Amino acid sequence: MGTVLVDMKFCDKKHKIKVTTKEDGNLKVHIATNCDHVKEYYKNLGDSLTIEDVTNREGSRVFDPEVCSPCTITCLVPSGVVSAAWLELGMLSKSRAEQIGSNCVVFTGAGDD
């Protein structure tokens, strides 16, 4: 299972995303969240993805504008779905993920080059 936590501090929301491989080779997705916008995104996305959905941005349901429409463009949940899927598929190293702990966006002040 690939599991990630997306912590959107700016809007004070957290999203736990789990992805598992199904017998047919597709991916099962579950998103637990305290955000109504992400709940709507998850409803639009559904709980099943293909490998293409997480490996090819063009045509991906994960990043489809209609699927993503409930969320702001700055929402990191779609990227979290892909990261969880890549962990599950072995495309990202689970041991390296455990070692580094997180990827993040850091807001810097003026002059912090």
Q: How far is CA 88 from CA 53, 54, 97, in A?
A: 14, 11, 12
- Element spanning 37, H or E: helix 36-45
pLDDT digits (tens, 9 = 90+) for 86-112: 999 999 999 999 999 999 888 887 666
- Element spanning 100, H or E: helix 94-100
Domains of the chain and CATH, by start: 2-100 (3.90.1010)
pLDDT digits (tens, 9 = 90+) for 28-41: 999 999 999 999 99
Q: In terms of Cα–Cα distance, which of 19, 28, 38, 9 is closest to 91? A: 19
Rounded to 10 degrees, the C-alpha dihedral 23/65/6/80 comes to 40
pTM, 2 dp:
0.92
